[in-house]
């Protein structure tokens, strides 16, 4: 009976379509259900590959194929579904809040018997009002005026009105709002939408106009938009680094955790690439080292950076191996980032410096070679093309045979654009966070010294010392050599600075908002 029923209802080879709301821009706002669908999709269709880069930065990595939406995305999806693939269409914001996707859904449901799912996402509307500390009222109107501006008779007339406008429509909306509400009436402008970089500005309708930043913005009219009302619940603007612009000189693939921590304190972090990581010029030495790991040639492997971990693991992968090849070998790691890199491949180091965060600190705590206990004396040290002479010398003095191998090369990045260099030199960044001595040297080499108005934060004493050698005043030194600690230290500094200024009767301004001194030789203005 069961067999006959199975024959009567054969399994369909038709695939599925799932629409997943990406959220307003911050990758951390995608839902758990949405992230699971993204990871397991056979085909992921996106508006832009930037969406995937954002997801990868927080550990959400699609398994299947990733493509950008075609001009005829309905045909694109149908072809994949007909082949039995599980298709995920990743959409900005929430599916139903972005009306441009409706047509696609209607065609799929009307024209084909296709299993279709929709997973909600955080809407732009919701995120903007939450970050802007605007309390919803019983009667609210949401109007998309980014393409078509409603006429005066059609203009929403509710207790609270939220208008979505674009650079193309903002002037027309401002003129219409001035006629309806009055040119001196207040309107709350929300810009840089979708993440902790959002900004709130209380303006008059007559003051609205095009912005150098461009992009979509929200205009809010209602009883909950005034500064006196929002100040009581403005959880976002009370963060210690709110509206601070923080520069992070580092390789871009290493800063996601740090920028996340800074964002939680309200800062907007910008990364300037100071170096790039390149493979060694010759491969023979690395091949010999990896064979030595597999053959049990080394008693210890000492990792001095996350790049060294990545280089060894990638080379093992090329041989069809994984981190299990490191079992039976003692591992040492310098720095929190290196330890984290090992943990991501399921490995825990046997030795890390308890004091300090440098290779020299590791050498001070490294055990001496004992020929009665240790079966061999060889230690592998995969490093950059710059020798860690202090550590090598220290281990050699302890009786170890050191094999230093170039696992990767650090290449100084090209100078950043002129605009970025000017912002650094003129103090337009409120703070600069240095996470290594090389970052200090490389940034000064390609972009010059930060202005003395910028707050300088260092991840550890060695980095702070390098800053001082180059003439930089160090304001913050992290209590421990971690991204979390240096971000927390900068936040504590900002809190103390704010309290001190208020106690002196000074305005609560950012470091970049210092009063510019007039040049002594400047001629007085002619009246």
Residue 241 makes CB contacts below 8 A (sequence gap 6+) with 262, 265, 266, 267, 430, 431, 490, 491, 494
Rg over CA atoms, the chain: 29
DSSP string covering 253-268: GG-HHHHHHHHHTT-E
Kindly give the interhelix angle for 418-425 and 437-447, rounded to the nearest 10 degrees: 110
Fold of 125-230: 3.30.950
Structure tokens at 232: 């009581």
Fold of 280-410: Rossmann fold (3.40.50)
**Residues 9/11/15/18 CA torsion (nearest 10 deg):** 70
Measured distance CA(21)–CA(251) in Å, rounded: 30
Widest CA span of the chain, in angstroms? 103
Measured distance CA(119)–CA(88) in Å, rounded: 10
The CATH architecture that domain 245-274+414-512 belongs to is 3-Layer(aba) Sandwich (3.40)
Position 453 scores a pLDDT of 94
pLDDT in tens, 86-113: 999 999 888 887 756 666 777 777 666 7
> Is the torsion defined by CA of 513, 514, 519, 524 positive or negative?
positive
pLDDT in tens, 295-309: 999 999 999 888 899
* Degrees, nearest 5: CA angle 161-163-169: 145
Position 112 scores a pLDDT of 63
Measured distance CA(322)–CA(317) in Å, rounded: 6
Q: List the beta bridge partners of residue 381.
A: 404
Fold of 15-122: Cobalt-precorrin-4 Transmethylase; domain 1 (3.40.1010)
Domain definitions of the chain by residue range: 15-122, 125-230, 245-274+414-512, 280-410
Residue 456 burial by CB count (10 A; 0-12/13-18/19+): exposed, middle or buried? buried
Position 257 scores a pLDDT of 77
Residue found by looking up tokens 């299993």 in the block: 115
Mean pLDDT by 10 residues, the chain (527 residues): 40 76 86 93 91 81 90 87 91 80 69 81 88 85 89 85 91 92 91 78 89 83 78 78 90 69 88 86 90 93 91 90 90 87 90 83 92 93 79 92 90 88 94 92 92 94 94 94 92 95 90 65 44
Position 268 scores a pLDDT of 85
Residues 43 and 67: beta-carbon distance below 8 Å: yes
Q: List the beta bridge partners of residue 86.
A: 16
Position 255 scores a pLDDT of 57
Position 230 scores a pLDDT of 73
Residue found by looking up tokens 């591992």 in the block: 331
Q: Write phi, then psi, for 142 (nearest 5 degrees).
A: -115, 120
Q: List the beta bridge partners of residue 88.
A: 18, 44
Tell me, yes or no, if the two domains 125-230 and 245-274+414-512 fold the same way: no
Count of residues in the chain: 527
Work out the number of other CB atoms within 10 angstroms of the CB of residue 367: 15
Work out the number of other CB atoms within 10 angstroms of the CB of residue 170: 22
């Amino acid at each position: 009976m069961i067999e006959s029923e199975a024959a009567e209802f054969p399994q369909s080879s038709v695939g599925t379509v799932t629409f997943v709301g990406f959220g307003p821009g911050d990758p951390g706002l995608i839902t758990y259900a949405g992230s699971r669908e993204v990871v397991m999709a056979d085909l992921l269709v996106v508006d832009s590959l930037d969406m995937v880069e954002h997801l990868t930065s927080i550990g959400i990595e699609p398994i299947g194929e990733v493509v950008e939406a075609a001009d005829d995305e309905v045909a694109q999806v149908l072809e994949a579904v007909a082949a039995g693939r599980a298709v995920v269409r990743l959409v900005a914001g929430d599916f139903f809040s972005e009306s441009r996707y409706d047509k696609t859904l209607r065609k799929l449901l009307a024209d084909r018997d296709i299993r279709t799912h929709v997973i909600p996402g955080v809407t732009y509307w919701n995120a903007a009002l939450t970050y802007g500390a605007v309390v919803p009222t019983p009667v609210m109107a949401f109007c998309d005026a980014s393409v078509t501006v409603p006429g005066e008779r059609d203009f929403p007339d509710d207790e609270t009105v939220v208008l979505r406008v674009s650079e193309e429509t903002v002037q027309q909306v401002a003129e219409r709002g001035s006629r309806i509400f009055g040119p001196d009436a207040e309107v709350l402008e929300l810009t840089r939408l979708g993440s902790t970089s959002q900004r709130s500005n209380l303006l008059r309708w007559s003051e609205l106009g095009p912005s150098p930043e461009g992009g979509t913005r929200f205009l809010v009219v209602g009883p909950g938009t005034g500064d006196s009302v929002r100040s009581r619940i403005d959880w976002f603007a009370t963060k210690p680094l709110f509206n601070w612009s923080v520069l992070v000189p580092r390789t871009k693939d290493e800063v996601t955790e740090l920028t996340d921590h800074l964002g939680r304190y309200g800062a907007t972090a910008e990364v300037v690439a100071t170096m790039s990581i390149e493979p060694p010029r010759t491969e023979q030495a690395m091949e010999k080292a990896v064979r030595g790991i597999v053959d049990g040639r080394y008693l210890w492997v000492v990792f001095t950076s996350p790049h060294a971990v990545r280089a060894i693991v990638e080379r093992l992968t090329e041989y069809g191996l994984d981190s299990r090849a490191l079992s039976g070998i003692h591992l040492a790691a310098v720095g929190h980032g290196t330890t984290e890199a090992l943990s991501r491949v399921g490995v825990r180091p046997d030795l890390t410096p308890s004091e300090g965060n440098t290779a020299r600190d590791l050498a001070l705590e490294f055990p001496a070679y004992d020929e009665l206990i240790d079966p061999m004396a060889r230690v592998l040290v995969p490093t950059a093309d710059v020798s860690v002479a202090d550590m090598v010398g220290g281990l050699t003095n302890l009786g170890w045979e050191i094999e230093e191998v170039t696992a990767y090369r650090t290449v100084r990045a090209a100078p950043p654009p002129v605009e970025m260099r000017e912002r650094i030199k003129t103090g337009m960044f409120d703070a600069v966070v240095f996470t290594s001595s090389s970052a200090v040297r490389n940034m000064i080499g390609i972009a010059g010294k930060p202005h003395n108005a910028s707050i300088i934060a260092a991840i550890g004493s060695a980095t702070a010392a390098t800053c001082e050698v180059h003439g930089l005043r160090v304001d913050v030194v992290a209590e421990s050599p971690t991204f979390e600690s240096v971000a927390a230290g900068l936040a504590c500094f900002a809190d103390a600075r704010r309290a001190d200024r208020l106690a002196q009767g000074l305005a609560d301004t950012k470091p970049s908002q210092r009063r510019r001194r007039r040049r002594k030789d400047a001629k007085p203005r002619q009246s």
